[in-house]
């Protein structure tokens, strides 16, 4: 694992992004922002999963009016996601959001962009500039022919020139592409030049299965290289799942711990139990458990005792029974009918 790249620190509401702050997990609501109760209900579910910052789309002025009503009801920083119309950014700032997300590819007019930055500066509100392969500045696109990593970085560079002119630096950047490799290269290039905090993600990564794979590879490789300060997994799915996947990525890299880390085998002809069914039950029952534990559940005695002994608590199935291990020691052999209840009981007491 590489040493973490040092970046500036930016505070969004009460959340610190960058510097030595833990890598945060964020997501975006996919409800109609004007429907305050549905949006708040969804954000509450995201909060419960550990979401640390939430973004809502602000496509029109009516949505701006919902922002304070949503903010009042939630416990995490609220960021307004703005495209095309600079007036929506100014209005959102007036409504007291904790942060703005601006797409400089579709608010190209320098004077309008300046107005947004100056207004954020006056109110001391941070901005993330989200550079996206699907909405890159047309001039830059013409120069590079496609949204290459260099094109994404040049788009960010244009904004940085403006920020330096205004002398406002409470900002972060994201450089996202639908191509995993372009995203990785763009972020490596950006972080070799600048020390603004980076929000990582693969844009429009797709439905759950391919989306999880693309996000895990793209975000994972960058984090492993010490790049990235906050992450958002984009899925065409429930945003609660984005948060869950975000933590799994951080847990796999030992960057954050949240809830148990589960180890289970893929099963084979030696497996002594319907492990898929067992895991489903365990995952459901552990959904509310927020303890940092490694739990191994293994199908037979080949690798079972070894993994179960290494974990904080573990089960290795054998014929109609299973051995239960805790902190490296066998604490009992139980029937396969009651072993999961025993396991959960022990976890409760840990």
Give 59-104 as a DSSP string. -SHHHHHHHHHHHHH-SS-EEEEE-S-HHHHHHHHHTT-SEEEE-T
Q: Which of 259, 299, 305, 314 binds ligand SF4 (CB under 6 A)?
A: 299
DSSP state of 134: G
Decide if residue 302 touches ligand SF4 (CB under 6 A): yes
Decide if residue 266 touches ligand SF4 (CB under 6 A): yes
Q: Which stretch binds ligand SF4 (CB under 6 A): 62-70, 210-218, 264-272, 327-335?
A: 264-272
Whose Cβ is closer to ligand SF4: residue 195's or residue 310's?
310
Residue 129's φ and ψ, nearest 5 degrees, are -95, 115
Total residues interacting with ligand SF4, rule: CB under 6 A: 12
Q: What is the closest distance, in whole angstroms, from the C-beta atom of residue 139 to ligand SF4 in the complex?
A: 55
Whose Cβ is closer to ligand SF4: residue 146's or residue 270's?
270
Give 96-132 as a DSSP string. T-SEEEE-TTT---HHHHHHHHHHHHHHT--EEEEEE
Decide if residue 213 touches ligand SF4 (CB under 6 A): no
Q: What whole-number distance in Å separates Cα of residue 133 and Cα of residue 105?
A: 9
Whose Cβ is closer to ligand SF4: residue 178's or residue 267's?
267
Q: Which stretch binds ligand SF4 (CB under 6 A): 52-60, 69-77, 97-105, 259-267?
A: 259-267
Confirm if 52 and 76 have CB atoms less than 8 A apart.
yes
Confirm if 7 and 19 have CB atoms less than 8 A apart.
yes
Whose Cβ is closer to ligand SF4: residue 22's or residue 306's?
306
Decide if residue 314 touches ligand SF4 (CB under 6 A): no
In terms of Cα–Cα distance, which of 77, 114, 113 is closest to 96?
77
- Give residues 267-286 in contact with ligand SF4 (rule: CB under 6 A): 267-268, 270-271
Decide if residue 125 touches ligand SF4 (CB under 6 A): no
- 3-state class (DSSP) for residue 46: helix
Q: Is 207 exposed, middle or buried (0-12, 13-18, 19+ CB in 10 A)?
A: exposed
Whose Cβ is closer to ligand SF4: residue 237's or residue 336's?
336
Residues that bind ligand SF4 (CB under 6 A): 265-268, 270-271, 298-300, 302-304
């Amino acid at each position: 694992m590489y040493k973490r790249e040092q970046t500036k620190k930016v505070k969004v509401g009460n959340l610190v992004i960058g510097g030595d702050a833990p890598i945060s997990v964020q997501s975006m609501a996919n409800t109609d922002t004007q429907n305050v109760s549905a949006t708040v209900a969804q954000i509450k579910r995201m909060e419960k999963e550990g979401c640390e910052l939430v973004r809502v789309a602000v496509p029109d002025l009516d949505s701006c009016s919902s922002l304070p009503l949503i903010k009042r009801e939630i416990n995490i920083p609220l960021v307004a996601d703005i495209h095309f119309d600079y007036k929506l950014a100014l209005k959102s700032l007036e409504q007291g959001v904790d942060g703005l997300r601006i797409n400089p590819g579709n608010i190209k007019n320098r004077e309008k962009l300046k107005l947004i930055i100056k207004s954020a500066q006056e109110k001391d509100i941070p901005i993330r500039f989200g550079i996206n392969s699907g909405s890159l500045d047309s001039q830059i696109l013409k120069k590079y022919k496609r949204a290459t990593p260099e094109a994404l970085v040049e788009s960010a560079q244009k904004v940085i020139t403006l920020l330096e002119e205004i002398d406002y630096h409470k900002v972060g950047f994201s450089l996202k592409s639908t191509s995993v490799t372009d995203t990785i290269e763009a972020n490596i290039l950006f972080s070799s030049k600048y020390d603004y905090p980076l929000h990582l993600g693969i844009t429009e990564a797709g439905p759950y299965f391919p989306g999880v794979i693309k996000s895990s590879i793209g975000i994972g490789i960058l984090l492993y290289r010490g790049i990235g300060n906050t992450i958002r997994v984009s899925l065409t799915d429930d945003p609660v799942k984005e948060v869950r996947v975000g933590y799994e990525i951080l847990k796999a890299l030992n960057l954050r711990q949240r809830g148990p880390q589960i180890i289970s085998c893929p099963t084979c002809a030696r497996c002594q139990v319907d492990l898929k069914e067992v895991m489903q039950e365990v995952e459901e029952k552990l959904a509310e458990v927020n303890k940092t534990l490694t739990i191994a559940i293994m199908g037979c005695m080949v690798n079972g005792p070894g993994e179960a002994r290494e974990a904080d608590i573990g089960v290795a199935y054998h014929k109609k029974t299973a051995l239960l291990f805790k902190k490296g020691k066998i604490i009992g052999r139980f029937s396969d009918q009651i072993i999961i209840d025993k396991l959960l009981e022990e976890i409760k007491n840990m």
